[in-house]
Amino acid sequence: MEKTEQLHEKSTLHDDHLEIFSLLWIRNEVNKNEKNQNNEHKLRAIINYLKIFEHIDECQQYIQTMSKEDRSVLIVNDQFSRELIPTIHNLCQISSIYIYCSNENKNKQWSKQFPKIRAITNQFDEILTRIEVDQKIRMKIEEPLSIKTLNVDDEINLPTKKLDESCIYFQTLIDILLRIRSNGEDINELFYLCKKEYKGNRNHLALLREFQQNYSSNAAVQWYIHRPFLQKILNKAFQLENIDILYLFRSFIRDIYHQLRYNQYQSPVRLYKGQLMSKKQLNYLKKFTGKLISVNSFLLTSTDRETVINDLEETTPSNNMQKVLFDIDADPGEDISIRFANINLDYDQDDNKNILFMVGSIFRLVSISYDKDKRCIIKIKLCNENKPDLQQLFENMRKEYGYGETNLLALGYFECQQFLFVSFFQSPCF
């Protein structure tokens, strides 16, 4: 029963939404007139979850209850801006602010002290455009990056069932998900999850129908990159280690793994990734310089350092957040266990390479320093399972849970599949 309770605590099926980003709009009218409805549909095409407030205190209370891993984009109508913005501006949950007003000039002077304000305009279409452009960068930089530290000496002899809070627990989870037997309905199960999440979102439902009709396993990476609704849900599920959601994504994760394996990058490469990180997380990581870390999500990187830095400079961190540039040394060598591949992004206008790493990739934390522009530079080097210290750890893990096809019983979550079908699939999608 204890395992089941832990499972329910990690579940987000009961949450309002399954993505990290949300849209909050505080305005003096919440009525559903045609103009408002059209604007709401356009906003949801950019960020699915939209919550509308009529009173400042309601908005403040909602923001205060948000997880520190969640991020919100805030639209404020003019009459609320001066009172609300000073109270929430420095919260890490607030990513960007857009003021919709009748008089731009009267707001420009006082708003200069609040760098998260991205636009002040009386044209709602301009707000839509700015949010859409900015959101592409926010997804790259501001979604929290889940990093776990790994002390091999401490964990090598620890039974896997005792590793719930460790790096190896997550490695075990991914290893089992990759080996779970397919029931032939995997993609349909995922479709119904997304159908429920995007109810009423015409844009996303159209993409979802395309996914159901046209998805093929040899194009999983392209779906992950070009249809961000999949990426958005997965990123939050990885962040929370939400077994319910990850189980529904099992075939999709496995398809990405095999596609990365088939297109494995063959030569050494230096890569870059921009990220906002909390100063608390950075101080914690500094203690593990020279140790191993695991990135517990798919990691999208670039060979173009300048472009990554430019994107990073477009962000405005809260006081407790820091701009970070990951400098990554990746050499596949002869180790077939490392999975990362060059992917083609249609919207790239140059020959820069974008490299995707498999979820759970392990790196050595080489150093943490700061450049002249006060950016934090984290140098990491890709590691492989065949190093003697890691090899024993993974061998112990696989001995305990087996080498062939498996199911979630291997993790001890014997009620997980029953919980999924009772609590989710029996509920109506519309």
The CATH classification of domain 147-423, taken from the options 3.40.50.720, 3.90.1150.10, 3.90.176.10, 3.90.470.10: 3.90.176.10
Strand boundaries in 18-92, DSSP class E: 21-26, 50-53, 71-77
pLDDT in tens, 231-264: 999 999 999 988 889 989 999 999 999 999 999 8
Task: Choose between 298 and 36: higher pLDDT.
Answer: 298
Phi then psi for residue 230, to 5 deg, are -70, -45
Strands 340-343 and 292-295: unpaired
pLDDT in tens, 13-49: 334 689 999 999 999 876 667 888 899 999 999 999 9
The residue among 417, 415, 404 whose CA lies nearest residue 181 is 404
Assess whether pLDDT exceeds 60 at residue 420.
no
Query: Which residue(s) pair with 396 in the sheet?
Result: none
Q: What is the pLDDT of residue 275?
A: 98
The residue among 308, 341, 337 whose CA lies nearest residue 220 is 341
**Which region among 126-130, 178-182, 282-286, 388-392 has the lowest average model confidence (pLDDT)?**
388-392
Amino acid, single-letter form, for residue 269: V
Does 21-141 carry CATH code 3.40.50.2300? yes
Q: CATH 3.40.50.2300: which residues of the chain?
A: 21-141
Q: What is the pLDDT of residue 96?
A: 97
Q: What is the pLDDT of residue 352?
A: 59
Q: What is the pLDDT of residue 117?
A: 96
Tokens of 155: 């964990």
The C-alpha atoms of residue 194 and residue 417 are separated, in whole angstroms, by 18
The C-alpha atoms of residue 209 and residue 12 are separated, in whole angstroms, by 24
pLDDT in tens, 183-193: 778 888 899 99
Average pLDDT over residues 39-65: 95
Q: What is the pLDDT of residue 425?
A: 41
Q: What is the pLDDT of residue 413?
A: 46
Tokens of 248: 């529904």
Q: What is the pLDDT of residue 332?
A: 87
**Which region among 45-49, 104-108, 415-419 has the lowest average model confidence (pLDDT)?**
415-419
The C-alpha atoms of residue 229 and residue 215 are separated, in whole angstroms, by 14
Assess whether pLDDT exceeds 90 at residue 407.
no
Q: What is the end-to-end Cα distance of the chain in Å, rounded? A: 32
Q: How confident is the model at residue 160 (pLDDT cuts 50, 70, 90)?
A: very low
Assess whether pLDDT exceeds 50 at residue 265.
yes
Assess whether pLDDT exceeds 50 at residue 334.
yes
Average pLDDT over residues 377-382: 97
Contact 146, 297 (CB under 8 A): yes
Average pLDDT over residues 85-106: 93
Tokens of 381: 């080097």
Q: How confident is the model at residue 289 (pLDDT cuts 50, 70, 90)?
A: very high
Task: Choose between 238 and 397: higher pLDDT.
Answer: 238
Task: Choose between 6 and 272: higher pLDDT.
Answer: 272
Cβ–Cβ contacts within 10 Å for residue 101, how many?
A: 18
pLDDT in tens, 201-222: 999 999 999 999 999 999 999 9
For 264, which DSSP code?
B
Tokens of 201: 């979102």
225 CB-near residues (< 8 Å, 6+ apart): 231, 300, 343, 345, 356
Contact 221, 256 (CB under 8 A): yes
Q: What is the pLDDT of residue 33?
A: 77
Cβ–Cβ contacts within 10 Å for residue 384, how many?
A: 17
Cβ–Cβ contacts within 10 Å for residue 346, how many?
A: 8
Mean pLDDT for the chain?
84
Amino acid, single-letter form, for residue 339: R
Q: Considering all CA atoms of the chain, what is the largest pairwise distance in Å, rounded to the nearest integer?
A: 68
Q: How confident is the model at residue 415 (pLDDT cuts 50, 70, 90)?
A: very low
The C-alpha atoms of residue 385 and residue 338 are separated, in whole angstroms, by 8
Task: Say what percent of the chain tops pLDDT 70.
Answer: 78
Tokens of 419: 């919980």
Average pLDDT over residues 143-150: 90
Query: Which residue(s) pair with 174 in the sheet?
Result: none
Q: What is the pLDDT of residue 340?
A: 92
Q: What is the pLDDT of residue 409?
A: 56
Task: Choose between 356 and 35: higher pLDDT.
Answer: 356
Average pLDDT over residues 275-297: 94
Can you list the alpha helix ranges (DSSP code H) found in 198-293? Answer: 202-214, 220-226, 228-240, 243-248, 250-262, 279-286
Amino acid, single-letter form, for residue 422: V
Contact 211, 223 (CB under 8 A): yes
The C-alpha atoms of residue 30 and residue 36 are separated, in whole angstroms, by 8
Handedness of CA 305, 306, 309, 311 (dihedral sign): negative
Average pLDDT over residues 405-421: 49
Three-state secondary structure call for residue 180: strand
**Which region among 86-95, 238-247, 382-391, 414-423 has the lowest average model confidence (pLDDT)?**
414-423
**Which region among 134-138, 174-178, 217-221 has the lowest average model confidence (pLDDT)?**
174-178
For 209, left (φ over 0), alpha (ψ -120 to 50), or beta?
alpha
The C-alpha atoms of residue 339 and residue 45 are separated, in whole angstroms, by 32
Q: What is the pLDDT of residue 392?
A: 67
Q: How confident is the model at residue 103 (pLDDT cuts 50, 70, 90)?
A: confident
Query: Which residue(s) pair with 51 in the sheet?
Result: 24
Task: Compute and round to an integer the Cα radius of gyration of the chain.
Answer: 22
Contact 354, 248 (CB under 8 A): no
The C-alpha atoms of residue 339 and residue 335 are separated, in whole angstroms, by 9
The residue among 36, 71, 38, 72 whose CA lies nearest residue 54 is 36
The residue among 24, 69, 29 whose CA lies nearest residue 49 is 24
Task: Say what percent of the chain tops pLDDT 90.
Answer: 62
Assess whether pLDDT exceeds 70 at residue 86.
yes
